[in-house]
Structure 1
């Protein structure tokens, strides 16, 4: 379904003088497209279209029965147009970039259309760089974040504490576990199938129910998981945060309340 949609996009764009090329990204690159997958497309244009949402929508509307389209500021990417098409019902993310912008990428996409071989030349002469976690950045924040989560539990704001735990999994545990398992650090994407069994169980132990005891147990497991990952991944250049001992005492005292 996704590749058939992309074939139609190629047909529509191949004679458009504004278009430099088209590429498939995301699951297409890793050959993991299945019936549940979104389609990630990168449209490279001579002129900058991403400054005008109406121009992006105008292009997107040519590709199929467009039900909805909005830009991706919520994920920090205003060049992205998030689309939902019908017949078939399909989520398609379309990023509009210029040739210069195509140089700055997190992966090498699959080239679907390449006028004058401009995209291939860039891929051959520049390097894709996927953003990796900064271990010192994490250590500088982890214990203060943990204290924040504990205060929410202490006040009885359990839903906020649940959201906090999800944030830790997305920003810290998922990426670090992926690195340990030699995967790209894509949050918690596909952790069910790409992590070693014991690593997945450690991550699963940070889930909780909506009550104090369960949340505190999950946070305690999160601390143990973080310490294990810190030992496995961090080098001796990482300076440990002196807040650690005080926050752990606070957590111990909270259990008594």
Structure 2
């Protein structure tokens, strides 16, 4: 069974995946290796990363996280690796192997951590049936957009970015527009188009008809262009906003007037 599942890993990742399985099997602290992401859902391509979850007994959770770089170095030609605090996930080791250069995410978790997961993945290897039993007893839940959460923040974010434009902090404004796209616009766009929303990823395939409108929210670090993009963001949000939210109309009016005043 393990061999058959390893064959589902794209060829460029198979050596590292096999090395991870072999290293985990040699170490009694580890219980299983799972693969997530595009490989698990059957949609890998030449641009995919390899997402591996390495499960240990709960008592070894902190120890194995602390030794993650040593583990990674032992399974293949490691070029560089760092932990994922910047994405709020210190259990994650982000690694480049090669040549040829490949991106591999190694996430080290305890058995009980499987109770709160976003996907089931495929079990490449397991020492016994404890991991499979845990997976069968609990359910994966992919985080879903909260339309009211977006509405309660959208107008504040538009005002914040507009103020940065007014001050002349144009690169800050460009970054702020990126946040508005990833945290508000695209979640609102894809809410009814996928059960696995992931920021701006794959929006081109999920909502091709709205890509031109979304493209208009991208700005150069130029005052007039940032203000143009902010107005485009407001227009698009009003088009895709969930009809069931409590609308913050007074905030919208005030912020749009502020934006018009800057223009």
Tell me if both proteins adopt one fold, taking TM over 0.5 as the criterion.
yes
Name the CA distance, whole Å, in 1 between partners of 2:51 and 2:125: 14
Q: Is 1:13 aligned to 2:21, yes or no?
A: no
Name the CA distance, whole Å, in 2 between partners of 1:53 and 1:69: 13
1:92 matched residue in structure 2:
104
Deviation at 1:80, TM superposition (A): 0.7
Cα displacement string for residues 14-59 of structure 1 (whole angstroms, at most 9, x for unaligned residues): 2432111000012212223222222110000114344565411221
Give the RMSD, CA atoms, in angstroms. Answer: 1.8
Counterparts of residues 98-137 of structure 1 (less than 5 Å): 98-137=110-149
Give 3-state SS (helix, strand or coil) of 2:233's partner: helix
The alpha-carbon distance between structure 1 residues 164 and 191, as it changes in their structure 2 partners (threshold 3 A), is same
Give 3-state SS (helix, strand or coil) of 1:206's partner: coil
The alpha-carbon distance between structure 1 residues 148 and 129, as it changes in their structure 2 partners (threshold 3 A), is same
2:50 matched residue in structure 1:
39
1:248 matched residue in structure 2:
256
Q: Is 1:198 aligned to 2:209, yes or no?
A: yes
Contact 2:31–2:56 (Cα < 8 Å) also in 1:
yes
Contact 1:135–1:234 (Cα < 8 Å) also in 2:
no
1:175 matched residue in structure 2:
187
1:208 matched residue in structure 2:
219
Contact 1:68–1:83 (Cα < 8 Å) also in 2:
yes
2:6 matched residue in structure 1:
none
* Residue 161 of structure 1, aligned match among 149, 173, 186: 173
Deviation at 1:77, TM superposition (A): 0.5
Give 3-state SS (helix, strand or coil) of 2:93's partner: strand
2:5 matched residue in structure 1:
none
Q: Is 1:187 aligned to 2:199, yes or no?
A: yes
Deviation at 1:183, TM superposition (A): 4.6
Name the CA distance, whole Å, in 2 between partners of 1:4 and 1:100: 29
The total of aligned residue pairs comes to 251
Give 3-state SS (helix, strand or coil) of 1:102's partner: helix
Gaps in structure 1 of 5+ consecutive residues: none
Cα displacement string for residues 78-127 of structure 1 (whole angstroms, at most 9, x for unaligned residues): 11111122233222111001100122101111111122222222222211
Name the CA distance, whole Å, in 1 between partners of 2:193 and 2:149: 21
Give 3-state SS (helix, strand or coil) of 1:116's partner: coil
Give 3-state SS (helix, strand or coil) of 1:14's partner: helix
Deviation at 1:4, TM superposition (A): 3.5
Contact 1:159–1:210 (Cα < 8 Å) also in 2:
yes
Deviation at 1:63, TM superposition (A): 0.7
Name the CA distance, whole Å, in 1 between partners of 2:63 and 2:142: 25
Counterparts of residues 29-68 of structure 1 (less than 5 Å): 29-46=40-57, 47-50=59-62, 53-68=65-80
* Residue 234 of structure 2, aligned match among 192, 199, 223: 223
**TM-score normalised by L of structure 2:** 0.88
Name the CA distance, whole Å, in 2 between partners of 1:200 and 1:29: 28
